[in-house]
Amino acid sequence: NKGKHRHFMEKEIYEQPEAIGHVLAHYVGLIENNADPIPSFDFASIPSLAISACGTAYLAGLIGKYWFERYARLPVEIDVASEFRYREIPLSPQSAALFISQSGETADTLASLRYCKKLGLKIGAIVNAAESSIAREADAVFPILAGPEIGVASTKAFTCQLAVLAVLAISAARHRGTVTENEVQALVRSLAEMPRIMGQVLNSIQPKVELLARELSKYHDVLYLGRGTSFPLAMEGALKLKEISYIHAEGYAAGELKHGPIALIDKNMPVIVIAPFDRIFNKTVSNMEEVAARGGRVILVTDEKGATASKLDTMHTIVLPAVDEIIAPMIFSLPIQLLAYHTAVFMGTDVDQPRNLAKSVTVE
Ligand code: M6R
Whether ligand 1 lies within 6 angstroms of the CB of 333 is answered as no
**What is the Cα 284 distance to its own chain's centre?**
19
pLDDT at site 306? 94
| DSSP track, 98-115 | EEEESSS--HHHHHHHHH
The reply to whether ligand 1 has any atom less than 6 angstroms from the CB of 57 is yes
* ipTM metric: 0.99
In tens digits, what is the pLDDT along the chain, a chain of 364 residues? 999 999 999 999 999 999 999 999 998 876 666 666 555 678 889 999 999 999 999 999 999 999 999 999 999 999 999 999 999 899 999 999 999 999 999 999 999 999 999 999 999 999 999 999 999 999 999 999 999 999 999 999 999 999 999 999 999 999 899 999 999 999 999 999 999 999 999 999 999 999 999 999 999 999 999 999 999 999 999 999 999 999 999 999 999 999 999 999 999 999 999 999 999 999 999 999 999 999 999 999 999 999 999 888 899 999 999 999 999 999 999 999 999 999 999 999 999 999 899 888 888 8
Q: Do 293 and 261 contact (CB within 8 A), yes or no? A: no
* Ligand 1 site, residue 103, Cβ cutoff 6 A: yes
Q: State in Å: Cα 247 to ligand 1 middle.
A: 19
In degrees and rounded to multiples of 5, residue 228 shows phi and psi of 60, -140
Q: In this predicted structure, what is the pLDDT of residue 269?
A: 94
Confidence at residue 141, expressed as pLDDT on a 0 to 100 scale: 93
Distance 68 CA to ligand 1 centre (A): 22
- Whether 117 is a known active-site residue: answer no
Ligand 1: distance of its center to the CA of 226 in Å? 21
Whether 133 lines ligand 1, by a CB cut-off of 6 Å, is: no
The total of other beta-carbon atoms located within 10 Å of residue 92's CB is 13
- What's the whole-model pTM score? 0.96
Closest ligand 1 atom to Cα of 157:
3
Q: How far is the CA of 317 from the centre of ligand 1 (A)?
A: 29
What CA–CA distance (Å, rounded) separates 301 from 317? 6
Burial class, 177, CB count within 10 angstroms (exposed 0-12 / middle 13-18 / buried 19+): exposed
Both ends of the chain: CA-CA distance in Å? 31
Q: Give the Cα separation of 203 and 195 in Å (integer).
A: 12
DSSP codes, 56-92:
HHHHHHHHHHHHHHHHH---EEEEEHHHHTTS-----
Q: Is the CB of 153 under 6 A from ligand 1?
A: yes
